[in-house]
Amino acid sequence: MQGFEQALADFLDRCVVEVANYPQLAFLLWNRRDKFLPAAEAFTLYEHNWRWIDEKALAPEERELIERLKQTFGHGVINA
């Protein structure tokens, strides 16, 4: 059972983003109440709104998320 729980946690971590854990993403969603987003949608939001991202304020965890999303959905590129 523990192997399943870990596999599920890994899957959810790759497919769903908890908005509250990423301040710059939460900033982009100032007018929405989403607690979770599909990872592809999070990537699209970062990509389309990059001009509003304060890169100096990005925490290491959020940088890692953006890099992972960029590799997965942007094929290594953010078109910003």
What pLDDT does residue 1 have? 66
Largest CA distance in the chain: 44
Mean of the pLDDT values across residues 19-43?
A: 96
The verdict on residue 80 lying in a domain is: no
User: Which residues form the domain of 62?
Assistant: 2-73
Q: Is residue 10 part of a domain?
A: yes
- Look up the pTM and report it: 0.87
Per-residue tokens: 31: 């007018």
Q: Decide if pLDDT at 31 tops 70.
A: yes
Is the Cβ–Cβ distance between 43 and 70 less than 8 Å? yes
Q: Helix 60-73 vs helix 39-48: angle between axes, to the nearest 10 degrees?
A: 100
Residue 65 inside a domain? The answer is: yes
For residue 65, how many other CB atoms are within 10 A of its CB?
22
Domain count along the chain: 1
* Mean pLDDT for all residues in the chain: 93
Q: Average pLDDT in the 31-52 region?
A: 96
Give domain status of residue 78, yes or no.
no
